[in-house]
Amino acid sequence: AYASLVLILFALDWILAGRVERFDVARVHDTKLSLGAENAVTVSVRNRSRRGTRFTVRDEAPEAFKIETRILEGEVPPLGTWTGVYHLQPLRRGDYQFGDLHLRWLGPLKLILRQGRVKAAEPVKVYPNLLDVRIYDLLLRRNRLQELGLRTTRMFGEGTEFERLREYTPDDEFRRINWKATARRNRPVTVEYQTERSQSVIAVLDTGRMMQTPVVDIAKLDYAVNAVLFLTYVATGKGDRVGMMSFADEICRYLAPRQGRGQFYRMLESLYGVDAQQIEPNYRKALTYLAVKQRRRALVVIFTDLSS
């Protein structure tokens, strides 16, 4: 009789626990994960039953990601919703696949533990670090760039773009004296210049074998790709024309300098597919090619590894 009563209680708890369909389980994350950053993944469990329960949920995140935990625990009230967050860190760019979500929950009598699978498989792309770009953009909009250690300074006397006229001082160069203004005012007047705007900036990215070397689980090339992306965002925001070239022993990709946020997204898609190669880079060929393509004056920033 005792054994029969226990079996009846187990069966009753099994029935009252219900099937996995009593829950709505979902995963939410950015459509583009950021390389090397802590990307937040939100898992929500909605209880469609009038009985609350404790549960454990496990996500099948890509094995190549560095993850703090794959298992979340919680308690969802009757007809309520529970939300949990975990973080993952992609170590390489590319295409990956999330698997299903596995849910395990207690029956109301706490005698059995049921388990079910929720279909949630979906592809995901890992791009260069967009989270740092978003943080910069947010601080820029709030005028709080000082938190990143950045200060806006107008550099007078540098560059070739006209800024203003002012009285001559003994430290000024003679070639900067404006003789027409001097003649009108009967005293020496100096032209003051500022750093040029709307200039061309070209990022040259080495994809040779030395860029494959990892630094704390992430390849040097991926650090360089993140730096190029951030440089592109800041420069396009300042009105500069930005372009890119990647090379190894041959020229891999080339984007002519352009202005606007559209160029940032073109650079993002181009950087997404950049891979290092097991070959020595040819700097002479790369710079010769760039000299042919870019005839106008430009700031060229080379991302490479000079160690042998």
Residue 294 exposure: Cα atoms within 13 Å on the Cβ side: 26
Tens-digit pLDDT profile for residues 2-16? 888 888 888 888 888
Instruction: Read off φ and ψ for residue 88, nearest 5 degrees.
Output: -135, 155
pLDDT in tens, 67-115: 988 899 999 999 999 999 999 999 888 899 999 999 999 888 888 889 9
pLDDT tens per residue, range 212-262: 888 888 889 989 999 998 888 888 888 889 999 999 999 999 999 998 888
Non-local CB neighbours of 204 within 8 Å, separated by 6+ positions? 244, 245, 246, 247, 286, 287, 290, 300, 301, 302, 303, 304
- pLDDT band, residue 289 (cuts 50/70/90): very high
Is the pLDDT confidence value at 121 over 90? yes
Average pLDDT score over residue span 179-206: 82
Supply the pLDDT for residue 133: 82
Contact (CB, 8 A) for 122 and 98: yes
| pLDDT tens digits, one per residue of 20-34 | 899 999 999 988 899
Q: Average per-residue pLDDT in the chain? A: 85
How far, in Å, CA of 7 to CA of 189, rounded?
101
Q: Return the percentage of the chain with pLDDT > 70, whole number.
A: 90
Work out the average pLDDT over 121-125.
93
